[in-house]
Amino acid sequence: MSRSVLKAILLVLMRVLYRPVVEGVERIPGEGPVILAGNHVTFIDSLFLSLVVRRQVYFIGKDEYVTGKGFKGRLMAWFFTTCGMIPVDRDGGHGGVAALMTGRRVLDRGRIFGIYPEGTRSPDGRLYRGRTGIARLALMTGAPVVPFAMIGTDKVQPGGTGMPRIAPVTVRFGEPLDFARYEGMDRDRYVLRAVTDEVMSRVMHLSGQEYVDIYATKAKAA
């Protein structure tokens, strides 16, 4: 009940304040496991994604978002988990494996799992090379991949911090991608790279972003 009420309240606020343009949402299957894979330009991308999709979307988030102390910490924990965030310690040596297994559990239950293949927010608004976890997840579960693009959310919350501003937002979904032809090849690194690159190519065409063939983490470090 709390999840439905919170989503209804936030949906009204979003429509009144931002009036987002949503394109192609009907391309998301109405039932069964689905992977939503898209670009990541600011902190609130997951919130907008959760609100424009009719079905509940689950996604990975840093466990620090739900481990705060006091009233504020409990409020944040309730908010993020109610919105569909699953906390995972991604900073440890097995963070990537934990995130992958969490996504697989969500999909095995016939739900929607949202993922940002870049692995982190874009440091400059460009689209960076995708990590192959998205491919492994798709090949292990057989779930279709629906690419999406967040456009304008970086103007709502520049840098991913501070109070959100009012700015136009578009959320665009592409046609589902089926990778059944690669069944049983989830350990072939060439196949994983090909699948990942295909997903990122679709995201690039949907978002209109410039593509950079390096990892975003490397760009941030530089």
Nearest of 184, 176, 79 to residue 141 by alpha carbon: 184
Enter the pTM of the model.
0.91
User: Each residue of 137-195: pLDDT tens digit?
Assistant: 999 999 999 999 999 999 998 876 777 888 999 999 999 999 999 999 999 999 999 99
Within a 13 Å sphere around the CA of 198, how many CA atoms are in the beta-carbon half?
A: 16
Provide the pLDDT for residue 43. 87
Exposure b/e, 69-108, CB count within 10 A at least 16 = b: eeeeeeeebeebbbbbbbbbebeeeeeeeebbebbbebbe
Rounded to the nearest integer, the mean pLDDT of the chain is 90
User: Each residue of 8-52: pLDDT tens digit?
Assistant: 888 888 888 888 999 999 999 999 999 999 999 998 899 999 999
User: Each residue of 76-130: pLDDT tens digit?
Assistant: 777 778 778 888 876 655 667 888 999 999 999 999 999 999 999 999 999 999 9
Question: Rounded distance, CA 124 to CA 208, Å?
Answer: 14
pLDDT band at 208 (very low <50, low <70, confident <90, very high): very high
How many other CB atoms sit within 10 Å of the CB of residue 221? 8
Exposure b/e, 111-136, CB count within 10 A at least 16 = b: bbbbbbbbbebbeeebbbbbbbbbbb
In contact, 115 and 37? CB cutoff 8 Å = yes
Encoded amino acid at 92, one letter: G
pLDDT at 64 over 80: no
